[in-house]
Amino acid sequence: MATGSIRSNALKLEPNDSRPLYVQIADQLADAIEDERLHPEDRLPAMRDLARELGCALVTFSQAYELLTARGRAHARVGKGTYVAEPVERRERMEGVLVMPAEPFYPTRQGPPALHLSFGHIPSDVAKEGVRRLGAALERSN
């Protein structure tokens, strides 16, 4: 169980990006997992260290790691850290898709409201029903 090869200098935070910092971080870590720069059971860097090195709030990294976990790309071990999930574990957690308005999470600066897609552990029948209800609500609003 090695610590992952991702360092703070590998993370590029863009203040003008419409995504919040925690989503930028989670996306970049997910890319590192998919590109195999991080491997299953690699320990992700300590949130406190990354927050200090990048000058961000600890909660920003906490949210990023929670998002990675919700996406099935990582798992947390209480008191031990956050680790890259096994590929099988990642596939099993992507059973459904949760669709919801993006505004409560990160409001868009301009243009119409966006949708936030969360690939987490959601049974497919629940996800399908949510999408069906969203479609019906959109049709009623037109």
Domain boundaries, given as residue ranges, for the chain: 8-91, 94-141
CATH architecture of the domain covering 8-91? Orthogonal Bundle (1.10)
| Strand, helix or coil for residue 127 | helix
pTM of the entire structure? 0.60
Strands (E), 3-80: 74-77
Task: Give residue-wise pLDDT tens across range 60-90.
Answer: 999 999 999 988 899 998 889 999 998 754 4
> Which among 50, 36, 44, 62 has a CA at the least distance from the CA of 3?
44
Pairing of strands 81-84, 74-77: antiparallel
Task: Give residue-wise pLDDT tens across range 30-51.
Answer: 999 888 899 999 999 999 999 9
